[in-house]
């Protein structure tokens, strides 16, 4: 799923070896929604020996969705995503921006939380392979947060000159080089100023613009070394007076620039006077304060990265840098720092693209480097909400945001439970979301009824009637194969699938004919209005009702029902013989049940049945059948006789 973003050139595609595939066999393949189905084949090569088993492989790129600890990332970011989609669009200007910045911060805190968990997992596991995997994940997450944070400063918050520098300083302090352990070591020693790392710590404080902390440490040096008291006082003073941008509107940029120029000149004077000549450390600090590139570059190992170098440079040479000027400083910083020794890594290129305000480039590079779409999908969505992405139409019609979200959500669908998150993402892709959802939701493996019900609820909420029907049919078929006729009928009723209901009813009736009794009475007795779904189903219900009435000795009603079943053509012709046979005991009762009219009807039915049979020869040969018909005719005749007498007598009295 990482793969190339839209329009990327095909450079160095990694080769994946399919484990278990025989080397000289050919492989054929077919694309699936999230994976490739690969199968061994001979394909046109005949006579290559005896046919042997061919195996099928599923090649999947994205393993990340299966990493347990990343689940929190997917779940929580889903919540933030949904919140963003539903947030107030009417809020304008500052409040909207503040809202978006908050969303960005939320995303970042989720990444950090995940990093914590991953780190815990890494140190607590004993399996070295797992440990390696977790550690890699930690560094990837850390890089993601680094990039996201920079994007937040430059794009979401769009910090202006002044605050921009402060934000970048925060960014560097938070993410680059680990100062804290060094600081702790020095401060906890007996004689901090004599510690070998003492000046390193002071330097890094200065490089990061942490003046108060630097001054605090320097005071220890001063008290330990009274001879340099004078130098210390001057340096301390310079550091205290350094003008920095403020977050509030207490001064304009011009004011700041003036102050800064003034201060800069003062530092210059002290340096040229040789005030710090006797202490190389302090002299170096003064040079740094003056923004001397060489002096700053000397501290390369402390800064560790070119972007730290960039921010330090800006702090001491151009604190009122404007956003659009960043690109120049960024490029030159990288060049100076790397100095031709090493080439930039992917992370460096991404950050550079950010400094150059090339949002699309950032997204593209991230897509290539990262192994799943999570990062780019969410970041792009946020940037889109900031109205920063022009509708950059890709050649297949949808826009960047939608493309990435669709890819991400599709990836989620291959997971047995994360697919539920994917549904919401599709909902918020206006152009193709619904189509994707329709295709994916039908392919979720329905291992339990509970899962099927969940899927159905999602479909029903979105009026996806086709999918509802399709899923119900699948469940009905499964139930039927497992001989769960009740469940099968239930599902086909829900699907309003008359044909299937007919099929199942036929099964019930067949069972009845074979066994002589009904199975699953609890179901048939309680069909309710759903009985009307199919004729066969109605017949089944009514036929069972007939049996019930008979069992309760409500003969006249039973008789009436039986007759209706035939005359109203609810019963299938194949069943008429059975029904007529069922009528026999009613005809044989002591009291007369069928009226004259009814008896005539029955006779007519019988004649219809026997007359309608084209193969009279065969019919007559079958002894059982002929006997039955004979018995029926006899019983009907006798009944007719009795009823005529009875009706005649009643009318007479």
Partner 1 sequence: HGDVSAKFCSRRSADALRPLPPRLQSPDVFATDNRISIWSSGDLGNAGLNGEYHGEPRLLCDIQHNGDVMDMQFLDQERIVVASSTGTVTIFRHHQNNQTLSANHRWEKAHYHVDQDTSCGGAACTGVVCSNPEIVTVGEDGRINLFRADQKDAVRTIDNADSSTLHAVTFLRTTEILTVNSIGQLKIWDLRHQRNEPSQIFSLAGDRVPLHCVDRHPNQQHIVATGGQDGMLSIWDIRQGTMPVSLLNAHEAESKGPSNLALNISRNRTFTTSQGNLF
**Binding-site ranges for partner 1 (CB under 8 A):** 68, 71-72, 75-76, 417, 447-450, 453-454, 457, 461, 478, 481-487, 490, 493, 519-520, 522-523, 526, 528-530
Residue closer to partner 1 (CB basis): 318 or 484: 484
Distance from C-alpha of 630 to C-alpha of 653, rounded to nearest angstrom: 35
CA dihedral 426, 428, 431, 433 (to 10 degrees): 10
Q: How far is the CB of 528 from partner 1 (least distance, A)?
A: 6
Residue closer to partner 1 (CB basis): 75 or 581: 75
Residue closer to partner 1 (CB basis): 21 or 453: 453
Q: How far is the CB of 70 from partner 1 (least distance, A)?
A: 10
Residue closer to partner 1 (CB basis): 126 or 590: 126
Burial class (CB within 10 angstroms; exposed 0-12, middle 13-18, buried 19+) of 74: buried
Torsion angles phi and psi, residue 27, rounded to 5: -120, 135
Q: Which residues, 6+ apart, have CB-to-CB distance to 204 below 8 Å?
A: 177, 179, 182, 299, 302, 303
Q: How far is the CB of 416 from partner 1 (least distance, A)?
A: 9
Torsion angles phi and psi, residue 535, rounded to 5: -60, -45
Residue closer to partner 1 (CB basis): 72 or 97: 72
Asked if residue 219 lies in contact with residue 266, where contact means CB atoms within 8 angstroms, the answer is no
Residue closer to partner 1 (CB basis): 330 or 523: 523
Residue closer to partner 1 (CB basis): 34 or 527: 527
Q: How far is the CB of 182 from partner 1 (least distance, A)?
A: 34
Q: How far is the CB of 482 from partner 1 (least distance, A)?
A: 4
SS3 content of the chain, % helix, strand, coil (to 5): 70, 5, 30
Residue closer to partner 1 (CB basis): 529 or 551: 529
Burial class (CB within 10 angstroms; exposed 0-12, middle 13-18, buried 19+) of 501: buried
Residue closer to partner 1 (CB basis): 446 or 577: 446
Q: How far is the CB of 457 from partner 1 (least distance, A)?
A: 6
Q: Which residues, 6+ apart, have CB-to-CB distance to 624 below 8 Å?
A: none
Distance from C-alpha of 328 to C-alpha of 317, rounded to nearest angstrom: 14
Q: How far is the CB of 448 from partner 1 (least distance, A)?
A: 4
Asked if residue 377 lies in contact with residue 366, where contact means CB atoms within 8 angstroms, the answer is no
Residue closer to partner 1 (CB basis): 326 or 493: 493
Q: Which residues, 6+ apart, have CB-to-CB distance to 95 below 8 Å?
A: none
Residue closer to partner 1 (CB basis): 298 or 511: 511
Neighbours of 531 (CB within 10 A): 19
Residue closer to partner 1 (CB basis): 272 or 447: 447
Asked if residue 526 lies in contact with residue 537, where contact means CB atoms within 8 angstroms, the answer is no
Q: How far is the CB of 586 from partner 1 (least distance, A)?
A: 27
Q: How far is the CB of 558 from partner 1 (least distance, A)?
A: 22
Cα angle vertex 70, ends 124, 410, to 5°? 155
Q: How far is the CB of 264 from partner 1 (least distance, A)?
A: 51
Looking at the DSSP bridge assignments, the partners of residue 6 are: none
Rounded alpha-carbon distances, angstroms, from residue 261 to 162, 250, 254, 304, 328: 15, 18, 11, 29, 22
Of 463, 468, 510, residue with least CA distance to 485: 510
Rounded alpha-carbon distances, angstroms, from residue 421 to 26, 107, 152, 276, 429: 38, 16, 25, 63, 14
Distance from C-alpha of 449 to C-alpha of 438, rounded to nearest angstrom: 20
At 464 the three-state DSSP class reads coil
Residue closer to partner 1 (CB basis): 344 or 486: 486
HSE-CB at 173 with a 13 A cutoff on CA atoms is 13
Q: How far is the CB of 124 from partner 1 (least distance, A)?
A: 13
Q: Which two tokens stand for residue 437?
A: 């959802």
Q: How far is the CB of 230 from partner 1 (least distance, A)?
A: 56
Residue closer to partner 1 (CB basis): 97 or 119: 119
Distance from C-alpha of 573 to C-alpha of 588, rounded to nearest angstrom: 24
Q: How far is the CB of 588 from partner 1 (least distance, A)?
A: 30
Q: How far is the CB of 519 from partner 1 (least distance, A)?
A: 7
The rounded radius of gyration (Å) of the Cα atoms in the chain is: 42
């Amino acid at each position: 799923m990482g793969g190339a973003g839209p329009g990327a050139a095909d450079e160095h595609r990694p080769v994946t070896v399919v484990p278990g595939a025989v080397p000289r066999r050919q492989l054929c393949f077919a694309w699936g929604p999230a994976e490739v189905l690969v199968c061994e084949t001979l394909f046109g090569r005949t006579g290559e020996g005896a046919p042997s088993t061919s195996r099928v492989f599923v090649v999947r790129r994205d393993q990340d969705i299966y990493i347990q600890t990343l689940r929190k990332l997917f779940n929580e970011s889903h919540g933030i995503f949904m919140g963003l989609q539903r947030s107030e669009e009417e809020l304008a200007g500052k409040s909207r921006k503040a809202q978006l910045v908050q969303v960005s911060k939320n995303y970042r805190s989720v990444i950090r939380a995940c990093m914590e968990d991953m780190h815990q997992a890494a140190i607590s596991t004993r399996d070295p392979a797992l440990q390696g995997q977790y550690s890699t994940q930690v560094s990837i997450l850390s890089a993601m947060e680094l990039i996201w944070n920079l994007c937040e400063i430059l794009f979401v918050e769009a910090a202006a000159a002044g605050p921009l520098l402060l934000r970048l300083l925060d960014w560097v302090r938070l993410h680059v080089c680990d100062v804290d352990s060094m600081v702790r070591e020095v401060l906890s020693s007996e004689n901090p100023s004599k510690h070998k790392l003492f000046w390193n710590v002071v330097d890094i404080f200065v490089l990061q613009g942490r003046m108060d902390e630097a001054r605090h440490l320097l005071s220890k040096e001063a008290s330990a070394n009274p001879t340099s008291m004078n130098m210390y006082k001057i340096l301390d003073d310079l550091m205290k007076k350094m003008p920095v941008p403020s977050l509030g509107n207490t001064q304009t940029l011009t004011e700041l620039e003036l102050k800064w120029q003034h201060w800069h000149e003062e530092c210059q004077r002290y340096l040229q006077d040789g005030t710090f000549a006797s202490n190389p450390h302090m002299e170096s600090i003064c040079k740094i304060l003056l923004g001397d590139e060489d002096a700053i570059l000397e501290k390369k190992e402390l800064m560790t990265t070119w972007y730290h170098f960039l921010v330090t440079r800006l702090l001491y040479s151009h604190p009122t840098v404007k956003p659009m000027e960043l690109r120049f400083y960024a490029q030159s910083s990288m060049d100076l720092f790397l100095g031709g020794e090493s080439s930039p890594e992917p992370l460096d290129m991404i950050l550079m693209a950010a400094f150059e305000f090339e949002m699309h480039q950032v997204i593209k590079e991230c897509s290539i480097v990262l192994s799943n779409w999570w990062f780019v999908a969410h970041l792009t969505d946020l940037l889109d909400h900031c109205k920063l992405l022009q509708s950059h139409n890709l050649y297949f019609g949808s826009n960047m945001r939608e493309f990435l979200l669709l890819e991400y959500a599709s990836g989620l669908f291959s997971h047995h439970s994360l697919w539920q998150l994917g549904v919401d993402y599709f909902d918020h892709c206006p152009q193709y979301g619904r189509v994707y959802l329709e295709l994916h939701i039908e392919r979720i493996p329905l291992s339990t009824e509970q899962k099927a019900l969940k899927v159905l609820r999602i479909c029903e909420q979105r009026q996806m009637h086709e999918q509802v029907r399709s899923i119900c049919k699948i469940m009905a078929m499964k139930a039927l194969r497992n001989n769960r006729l009740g469940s099968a009928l239930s599902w086909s009723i829900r699907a309003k699938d008359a044909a299937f209901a007919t099929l199942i009813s036929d099964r019930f009736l067949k069972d009845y004919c074979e066994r002589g009794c009904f199975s699953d009475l609890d179901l048939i007795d309680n069909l309710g209005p759903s009985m009307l779904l199919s004729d066969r189903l109605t017949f089944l219900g009514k036929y069972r009702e007939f049996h019930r009435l008979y069992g309760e000795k409500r003969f006249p009603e039973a008789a009436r029902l039986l007759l209706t079943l035939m005359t109203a053509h609810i019963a299938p012709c194949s069943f008429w013989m059975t029904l007529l046979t069922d009528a026999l005991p009613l005809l044989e009762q002591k009291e007369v049940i069928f009226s004259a009219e009814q008896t005539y009807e029955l006779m007519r039915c019988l004649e219809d049945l026997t007359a309608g049979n084209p193969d009279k020869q065969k019919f007559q040969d079958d002894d059982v059948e002929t006997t039955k018909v004979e018995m029926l005719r006899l019983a009907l005749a006798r009944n007719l006789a009795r009823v005529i007498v009875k009706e005649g007598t009643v009318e007479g009295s």
